[in-house]
């Protein structure tokens, strides 16, 4: 099957796929790997089967500790500790729709933890990925696309003069910290935000206390705490590492204080733009807020769900990456780089980020109307338009709301952001409002009864 058939020929306003002499190889991959609708291998046919969803949850619990390799996709994270409802596995995702293991179709508001801003299985991105796979994903040399994509990121991201690619967000942030330490010859990090699962960014079982000894944590947008931590770090401060948006936009004063402290103490200012990159603006918060750090990390929406992340920054600082050891076998593999080129095509042809803001505003409006109409209390909508969340004052009620929304075929994220995507079209927004209304009305009735 030719790719044009696989994707229904594409829409007239979409960029044309470049002529490719190796097309027959791409078509062969498409023939083997995919076809339309229910014919997909592994997608169940027939009526939805809730028992089948439960069987997959049980199978996963047996073979995968916690039930999922991604912490935020464990059943306990999806629906609440001890919960037994809700699908946990899928067989197909397309646009903003999920087909569960049991064959149910859901609208997804969580969008793969913000890693997908266009839509699942997007034609432009998938074509680029299939093409790259067919042409040889890796070999003993680096692919030319590594250089091309790095160049294009430098054109789009304000602080970017050089780029290093890695596979996950945690890896990219670790690389940024390593570069900052190599550049300054100092050790201490003052950090605010979530940076991933690695040792220095977490505490808990299995993490030696010593790994955090050089990391001082400060709350978001708190100037006094930032100043105190920097005094504590003293002449050994290597970097201030900030997630620039946590629930709300930062105050300019907080960022200015961070810049001043870095300059005064010879440290590097790093923004972790994992969630904000290619979402608030292509260049992340630094573009949106016109405030440049020295280094920044990107991932998630940059590749619309494919595994790649990047640390970018001023050349003078980035050069230190060549003086230390930062390496990952598959860092420059071609399929995820191709996914970035697919995303960049989208950003070239349309203002993706503007659309995400507008869609997010409509989502928030819909949920607020649903809350108000039902008279539900103890719940609010927080965040900013492209990344918003429901804050419940009771985790039991939150779980029950999620269960009721699922009965209306909508998946909301528990305790974390829901993300707008281009795939959330007008009808989807109507369906989301209907599901939320119905769930809140029922929740209120149960609370009163
Ligand atoms: C701001 C931020 N940094 C780093 C990470 C870690 O990324 P990953 O889960 O890809 O390692 C995340 C993930 O949610 C994030 O939101």
Q: Residue 331: what pLDDT?
A: 98
Centre a 10 Å sphere on the Cβ of residue 374 and count the other Cβ atoms it contains: 19
72 lines ligand 1 (CB under 6 A): no
From 275, 306, 415, 418, the mutation candidate for ligand 1 (largest count of ligand atoms within 8 A of CB) is 275
By the 8 A CB rule, do 318 and 161 touch?
yes
Q: How far is the CA of 300 from the centre of ligand 1 (A)?
A: 8
Q: How far is the CA of 274 from the centre of ligand 1 (A)?
A: 6
Q: Residue 7: what pLDDT?
A: 40
Q: How far is the CA of 14 from the centre of ligand 1 (A)?
A: 31
Centre a 10 Å sphere on the Cβ of residue 128 and count the other Cβ atoms it contains: 27
Q: What domains, with CATH codes, occur in the chain?
A: 139-334 (3.40.640.10), 350-449 (3.90.1150.10)
Q: Radius of gyration of the chain from Cα atoms?
A: 23
Q: Residue 44: what pLDDT?
A: 67
Q: How far is the CA of 263 from the centre of ligand 1 (A)?
A: 27
Give residue 394's Cα distance to chain centre: 26
Q: Residue 255: what pLDDT?
A: 98
Q: How far is the CA of 173 from the centre of ligand 1 (A)?
A: 8
89 lines ligand 1 (CB under 6 A): no
Q: How far is the CA of 195 from the centre of ligand 1 (A)?
A: 5
Exposure class string for 153-184: b at 16+ Cβ within 10 A, else e: bbebbbbbebbbbbbbbbbbbbbbbbbbbbbb
Sign of CA dihedral 109, 113, 117, 121: negative
Residue 411 phi/psi, 5° resolution? Answer: -100, 115
Q: Residue 35: what pLDDT?
A: 36
By the 8 A CB rule, do 135 and 24 touch?
no
Alpha-carbon distance of 285 to 386, in angstroms, equals 12
Give the tokens for residue 302. Answer: 């940059």
Centre a 10 Å sphere on the Cβ of residue 141 and count the other Cβ atoms it contains: 8
Task: Quote the Cα angle for 384-110-53, to 5°.
Answer: 160
How do residues 322-338 score in pLDDT, each as one tens digit? 999 999 999 999 999 99
Q: How far is the CA of 197 from the centre of ligand 1 (A)?
A: 8
Q: Residue 14: what pLDDT?
A: 38
Alpha-carbon distance of 313 to 269, in angstroms, equals 10
Return the ligand 1 atom nearest residue 307 CA.
10
From 167, 201, 274, the mutation candidate for ligand 1 (largest count of ligand atoms within 8 A of CB) is 274
> Going by CA atoms, what residue is nearest to atom 1 of ligand 1?
274
Start-to-end CA span in the chain (Å): 57
Return the ligand 1 atom nearest residue 300 CA.
10
Ranges in the chain, pLDDT < 70 = 1-44
**Secondary structure of the chain in HEC code, one letter for each residue:** CCHHHHCCCCCCCCCCCCCCCCHHHHHHHHHHHCCCHHHCCCCCCCCCCHHHHHHHHHHHHHHCHHHCCCHHHCHHHHHCCCCCCCCCCEEEEEECEEEECCCCEEEECCHHHHCCCCCECCHHHHHHHHHHHHCCCCCCCCCHHHHHHHHHHHHHCCCCCEEEEECCHHHHHHHHHHHHHHHHCCCEEEEECCCCCCHHHCCCCCCCHHHHCCEEECCCCCHHHHHHHHHHHHHHEEEEEECCCECECCCHHHHHHHHHHHHHHCCEEEEECCCCECCCECCCHHHHCCCCCCEEEECHHHHCCCCCEEEEECHHHHHHHHHCCCCCCCCCCHHHHHHHHHHHHHHHHCCHHHHHHHHHHHHHHHHHHHHHHHCCCCEEEEEECCEEEEEECCHHHHHHHHHHHHHCCEECCCCCCEECCCCCCHHHHHHHHHHHHHHHHHHHHHHHC
Alpha-carbon distance of 97 to 191, in angstroms, equals 36
* 105-108 vs 97-100, strand pairing mode: antiparallel
Residue 145 phi/psi, 5° resolution? Answer: -65, -25
Alpha-carbon distance of 328 to 322, in angstroms, equals 14
Q: Model's pTM, two decimal places? A: 0.92
Task: Match 């928030």 to its residue by tokens.
Answer: 364
Return the ligand 1 atom nearest residue 197 CA.
11
């Amino acid at each position: 099957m030719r790719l044009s058939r696989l994707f229904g020929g594409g829409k007239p306003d979409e960029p044309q796929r470049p002529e490719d002499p190796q097309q027959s190889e791409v078509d062969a991959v498409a023939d083997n790997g995919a076809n339309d609708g229910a014919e997909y291998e592994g997608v169940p046919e027939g009526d939805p089967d809730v028992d089948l969803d439960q069987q997959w949850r049980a199978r996963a619990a047996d073979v995968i500790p916690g039930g999922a390799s991604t912490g935020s996709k464990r059943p306990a994270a999806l629906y609440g500790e001890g919960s037994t409802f809700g699908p946990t596995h899928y067989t197909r995702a397309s646009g903003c729709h999920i087909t569960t293991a049991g064959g149910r179709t859901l609208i997804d508001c969580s969008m793969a933890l913000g890693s997908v801003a266009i839509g699942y299985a997007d034609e432009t991105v998938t074509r680029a990925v299939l093409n790259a796979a067919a042409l040889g994903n890796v070999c003993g040399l680096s692919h030319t696309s590594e250089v091309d994509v790095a160049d294009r990121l430098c054109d789009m991201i304000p602080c970017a003069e050089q780029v290093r690619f890695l596979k996950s967000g945690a890896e990219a942030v670790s690389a940024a910290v390593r570069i900052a330490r190599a550049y300054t010859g100092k050790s201490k990090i003052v950090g605010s935000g979530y940076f991933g699962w690695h040792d220095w960014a977490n505490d808990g079982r299995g993490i030696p206390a010593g790994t955090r000894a050089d990391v001082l944590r400060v709350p978001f947008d708190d100037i006094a705490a930032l100043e105190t931590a920097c005094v504590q770090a003293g002449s050994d401060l290597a970097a201030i590492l900030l997630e620039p948006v946590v629930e709300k936009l930062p105050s300019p004063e907080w960022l200015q204080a961070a810049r001043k402290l870095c300059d005064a103490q010879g440290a590097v200012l790093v923004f972790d733009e994992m969630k904000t990159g290619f979402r608030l603006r292509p260049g992340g918060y630094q573009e949106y807020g016109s405030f440049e750090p020295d280094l920044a990390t990107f991932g998630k929406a940059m590749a619309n769900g494919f595994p790649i992340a990047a640390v970018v920054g001023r050349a003078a600082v980035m050069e230190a990456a060549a003086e230390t050891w930062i390496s990952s076998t598959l860092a420059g593999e071609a399929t995820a780089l191709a996914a970035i080129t697919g995303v960049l095509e989208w950003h070239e042809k349309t203002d993706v980020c503007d659309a995400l803001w507008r869609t997010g505003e409509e989502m928030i409006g819909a949920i607020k109307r649903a809350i108000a109409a039902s008279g539900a209390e103890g719940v609010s909508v927080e965040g900013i338009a492209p990344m918003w969340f429901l804050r419940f004052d009771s985790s039991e009620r939150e779980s029950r709301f999620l269960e009721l929304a699922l009965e209306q075929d909508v998946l909301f994220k528990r305790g974390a952001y829901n993300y707008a995507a281009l795939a959330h079209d007008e009808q989807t927004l109507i369906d989301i409002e209907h599901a939320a209304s119905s769930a809140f009305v029922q929740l209120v009735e149960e609370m009163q009864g």
